[in-house]
Structure 1
Amino acid sequence: MDRITALERLAQLRSSGNLSDSEFEVEKQRILAAADGRPRSPRRGRLALAGLALAGTAVAAGWMLAPDAEPVAPAAKPRPTTKATSPLPAAAAEPEPSVRELSTQEQLTEAFRAAYGSRKSATLKRDGSTYVVRPASLEWIGDKAVLLTLAGIPDACHGCSGAIGVHYLVPAGKNFAVQERWPLFVPGSSWGEPATEWSIRRDLSTYPVVASEGGHMGQGYLCQWTSLAELTPARPVLLGTFSTGFSDEGARVDGEAVTNWDGRITKPVRGRSFQIAVSGSDHFTERYVRRGDKFVPAHTSRFSEHCG
């Protein structure tokens, strides 16, 4: 290699950063001294040549790879690991609204509305008579609601009778749905009255019993009775109508003996029997026993002489 070529190569090494300025000067002086015939240290010359050879190899490698090499993308930074989290539990579904959450009065109102489309009163036409129906009470028998209504006939005759109605309903959200109805089930009283008195008794049978008192007066004679209707889960059952009162005072003239009997149900044995204790002009007791779906007199009733 001639001196000019060696110096150009040396300049390229310095330009590329493979030689520092001090190294460049040392090597330049060596090349020039060799060209002038000056002696040099064999060891230093060998080291210099080895260094030049390595540097040249590196430069040559750079020249060969640079045109075709693709830039290497910097190493991707590791993504921060996220701790696996359990999915949040699904929100519990809200319970469906229930009519049983309403107050007793609200339940009664909603039951009557379901049965008659009105909240306070309604009219019912049966057998040529027009009844005015009003809500009376609501009883729960298991999952069924039993609506009791009072059906009366305005301006009725003395022989016209009102009644107590029975309606079976089931909850439907915040309302009721009617299953079956018996709008004139329990016999009432004369003059179109649904009952002179009525109550719910729980001491006569397995299920609640409607006890309705009624009466009729004709030609000075008064007969009174009590009707019992059991509210079973399937349907209402009329257990019977029993004479519980009698008076002939309106048919007697001065000086004649008057008969006044006033009877009340006493000593019930649930589902088996009860007694009617009579007071007034006479005192006696009559016993009634359960036979299937009816209460029947254990002996002939004394009321049958007067009230049939």
Structure 2
Amino acid sequence: MMRKLLVALAFAVLAVVAVLGWMRPREAVSPAPPTATPTPAPTATLSGKDRLAAAVAVAFKDGRARTDEGGQRYTFDDDKLVDTPFGPVLISEGSVVDPGHASAGRIDIAYLRPEGNGFTLVRNYPAAAIAGSFGRLSGWQVDDRFADMPTLRTEGGFTGQGITCSAVVLTELRPTGPVEMAQVPIGVDNTGSALPGADDSVEGSFTDIRRNQGFAVRYSGSKAFTDRWERKGDRYVPIGPSQVPEC
């Protein structure tokens, strides 16, 4: 009888211990910290309008106007950033403030070097190309067909005593600086002149361009003909006499 009582008591004690263990508060488990999203590193490369604006700010740190040695004041409002094998080059068109008839437009060129999030100025080349009248150019563009380095084509015209003449200036952007390669007559119209026999009106266009070798200019209008140019040293020169009427 005593044994049965002891066994029953033992089972009762085990039951109480199990109940107390179940009722003991459980330790809180901290959730794992969230995985951090990596922040992309800032890039030092600008693009588009921001890149052009950074180049202009460096090349024109004193403002968008310049005065030449003759006192003519130019404002610059048309820019293009060109990537060359030796670095970025900024090309900017300048127009004369209060121009006269004989005032030409001009191109200023700045050689730059990438630095940090922008550029640093290597060297400015004011009036690297000059053309036109009434303070403006007729137009300009960059062409890679004439030379190993990009070539600037600057066009301008002038009218005097009833004769209108226009020409294209070719300027190669070399690592050592811009170099003029040729001044090519592109159009003549003397029909407004009072000179006897003045009835010529011709306009030319570039054709057969062979890099570093030569090109042709095909003229049409009152007469049709083709002038050819070849490279000699640092310049392009015409082959033989030209049929373009004198200006």
* TM-score, normalised by the number of residues in structure 2: 0.78
**Offset at 1:228?**
0.5
Supply the distance in 2 between the matched residues of 1:266 and 1:105 (Cα, whole angstroms): 33
- Does 2:116 align with 1:176? no
Cα distance in 1 for partners of 2:87, 2:197 equals: 54
Distance 1:104 1:233, change over 3 A: farther
Aligned match for 1:212, one of 125, 142, 154? 154
The structure 1 residue matched to 2:84, chosen from 120, 133, 141, is 141
Q: CA RMSD in A?
A: 2.0
Which of 107, 110, 133 is residue 167 of structure 1 equivalent to? 110
Please identify runs of 4+ aligned residues in structure 1 that moved more than 4 A: 94-97
CA–CA separation in structure 2 for the residues paired with 1:96 and 1:218: 57
Q: Secondary structure at the match of 1:251?
A: coil
What does 1:54-69 correspond to in 2, within 5 Å? none
Whole-Å Cα distance in 1 between the matches of residues 86 and 184 of structure 2?
31
Gaps of 5+ in 2: 1-39
Greater RCO, 1 or 2 (C-alpha within 8 Å, sep 6+): 2
Q: Distance in 1 between matches of 2:230 and 2:133?
A: 28
Task: Verify: 1:276 aligned to 2:207, yes or no.
Answer: no
Identity of aligned residues (%): 28
Equivalent position amino acid for 1:293 in 2:
D
| 1:157 and 2:100 aligned | yes
Instruction: Answer 1 or 2: which has greater strand percent.
Output: 2
- Report the Cα distance in structure 2 between the residues aligned to 1:197 and 1:264, rounded to whole angstroms: 14
CA distance in 1 between partners of 2:198 and 2:229 (Å)? 29
TM-score in terms of structure 1 length: 0.63
TM superposition shift of 1:151: 0.8
Whole-angstrom CA distance in 2 between matches of 1:95 and 1:269: 46
- Counterpart in 1 of 2:165? 223
Give 2:243's aligned residue. 302
CA deviation profile, 1:20-43 (whole Å, cap 9, x unmatched): xxxxxxxxxxxxxxxxxxxxxxxx
Residue 125 (structure 2) pairs with residue 187 (structure 1) = no
Deviations 1:119-140 (A, max 9, x none): xx61101121111022410111
**Per-residue deviation, residues 267-287 of structure 1 (Å, max 9, x unmatched):** 101111000100000100000
2: distance between equivalents of 1:143 and 1:185? 18
| Residue pair 2:46, 2:118 contacting (<8 A) in 1 also | no
Using the alignment, how far apart are the partners of 1:165 and 1:283 within structure 2? Answer: 35
Q: Distance in 2 between matches of 1:295 and 1:215?
A: 21
Between the aligned partners of 1:171 and 1:257, the Cα distance in structure 2 is 54
CA distance in 1, matches of 2:148, 2:59: 26
1:114 maps to 58
Pick from 130, 138, 156: which aligns with 1:196? Answer: 138
Paired positions, count: 207
Structure showing the higher helix proportion among its residues: 1
Question: What is the identity, as a one-letter code, of the residue corresponding to 1:108?
Answer: L
Larger Rg, first or second structure (1 or 2): 1
> 2:78, 2:163 → 1: CA distance?
32
Q: 1:78-97: CA deviations, max 9, x gaps?
A: xxxxxxxxxxxxxxxx9784
Shift of residue 231, structure 1, vs aligned partner: 1.1
Gapped regions of structure 1 (runs ≥ 5): 1-93
